[in-house]
Chains A and B, each alone.
Chain A
Amino acid sequence: MSDFVRQIRDFFVSIRLTVVLLIMSIILVFAATLAQVELGLWGVQQKYFHSFFVMQEIPHTGITVPAFPGGYLIGGLLLINLLAAHIYRFKLEWRKSGIQLTHTGLILLLVGELLTGLLAEESLMRIDEGQTKHYSESYRQYELALLDLTNPSYNEVVAIPETVLAETGTIQHPQLPFKVTIKDYFPNASLQRRAQAPGTPAARATAGIGPSIAVLPLPLNAKESEGNLPATFVELAGTEGSLGTWLASPALSQPQTVVYQGHTWEITLRLRRYYQTHTVKLLNFTHEKYAGTDIPKNFASRIQLTTDNQSEDREVLIYMNNPLRYAGLTYYQAGFENNDRTSILQVVRNPNWILPYIACLMMGLGLLLQFGIHLVNFSRKRAAT
């Protein structure tokens, strides 16, 4: 083995690397906790944990540089370190089987966390009593949806995510009979009636409600409770030329439409939707309190779950710590509003949900085994002396 390869091996199996990485994790968690005041929970997760490097701007330059390893990097290195040490030092011995089982569980836990971070999708379903819903919505990602409303029984949808809107430019999608040009995009903006906002620049929109609305860009708000309301100016152009420029924003409560080649299209900027092949109807929501107090005891949503092909049609009760698992999704009771008439369900798609359970089971068994072996050996020694 060459010196170089040996050095690599020694680096990755070193306990010093483990210690350095664990110290870095502590610093990262500490810094992120302090930053939560400014950035909010979601902002901190993205900046500190769901990243390879924590990027920081050099004051007054506008240049961002990596300031510290991020969660993915530290976690990834810890995983490599653990795996390398495991492989290098692995000896099939009954005496160490408990430790090995515990370590394997820990590796699984780290892998599981990485997979969850990369694969899991979380969304919300706000549903009123008596309402039926086919979709859940993202917490904070928006999409520009162009809907062909022509068919009476369904809509053809082309959904353009915010990341594409942010790049602006022209989009020619095979499902669209026109070109879509994103002329401007504001990740957070306030809308004001133009007549009440004198001095604002001339309207960019030429069609729909846009010409009478002024768009005032706002700085991005990282606080979870407040969020952002994006706005965009979109020009549609057919073969004969421009059909007009529309303002789209989730703050516009009514949809805007355009008729082109006999098809009616709706233009809307909405929270990103996740459609399912089943519907959820909220039959009723109950909010129990402890007798004589306003202290909540239980929240429960009684829903009707119906698949599109009618193969399943049943009532389900979702309450705290009793989620519905169906079709790879987990529906948790997350909240309520509107004077207890609207239930909020958190909808999680996590193909990896089982891994942490297996990991914890393995670690538990491993520790039990290891301590058991020690106990037996100790008892034998005592008996012998």
Chain B
Amino acid sequence: MKLHLISLSLGLAALPFTGCRDQKIMAYRAPKDPAPVMAAAAPAQMAPGATLPDGHPAIGGEAAPASAPGAMTGNVPTAEGMALLWTAPAHWTAKSLGSMRKGSYAVAGEAGAVGDLAITAFPGDTGGLFANVNRWRGQVGLGPIEAAQLEASLKNIEANGLKITIVEATGQANGVPTTLLGAIVPHDGQTWFFKLIGPAALVTREQTAFRDFLSTIKPR
């Protein structure tokens, strides 16, 4: 009898909660999303050395670093939180972050040219400097360098106690001369990437602003 009572009570307790929450197909009228702040920046975001057909949209935001599992996908675990702070130059326009970016800016140039500055962070060393420098070179259509050439291709600076490695690579993207100006900042078990990519003339003009920007990066 006791068992009967228990099963009865279980049934009674379950009764009020048998309904299922709204998991139905919904149809509704919705206002249009406002256009992204700088839609023109999208082509610059697409890595020039990538293999997607011309005119196809980019996958995700910044591509994953060299050694991240599932590299080149939008599903790489990024570093949590905002361990670094920075101040962007006033003429850079903040834009939406996408799924992987910690910071995202459109850098406008002459005649409608737009550069894309992406800030991303990942746990660990993400495959090391050598692999990441070659990954970035690939994005402007350049071949990989040898390990022995690595040191010569880098510039190192220090800012606010952070060691910053600067990488510059100029190549071609969709037939347009393109420059990638990047900085790799290891901090607290994470690796932070600051990457400006865009038409070569624009990025060259932004060199000083980019260096000044790097000098503002500081631990939170």
A binding-site residues for B, Cβ under 8 Å: 4, 7-8, 11-12, 52, 69, 72-73, 76-77, 79-80, 114, 118, 128-129, 131-132, 134-135, 147, 149, 153-161, 163-164, 171, 173-175, 188-196, 209, 212-213, 216, 218, 225-226, 229, 249-256, 273, 275, 294, 337-339, 341-342
Contact = CB atoms under 8 A, between A and B. Distances in A.
A76 B17 contact: yes
Interface majority SS (helix, strand, loop, mixed), chain A: mixed
Contact of B13 (A80, A154, A159, A163): A80
Nearest to A216: B70
A157 B23 CA distance: 16
Given A193-B52, A254-B57, A339-B85, A7 B5 contact: yes
A132 B34 contact: yes
Given A128-B96, A164-B23, A11 B5 contact: yes
Contacts of B82: 337, 339
Most buried by B among A129, A173, A190, A194: A190
A210 B23 CA distance: 27
20 contacts: A8-B5, A80-B13, A118-B17, A131-B34, A147-B30, A155-B31, A171-B25, A173-B25, A188-B75, A191-B75, A193-B52, A195-B51, A229-B74, A229-B75, A250-B99, A275-B28, A275-B31, A294-B220, A338-B104, A339-B103
Interface string B1-29: 10001001110111011010101111111
Contacts of A255: 57
Given A153-B32, A254-B42, A73 B14 contact: yes
Contacts of B56: 209, 212
A155 B33 CA distance: 9
Contacts of B28: 157, 159, 275
Interface stretch (B58-66, B140-148, B175-183, B193-201): B58-66
A158 B27 contact: yes
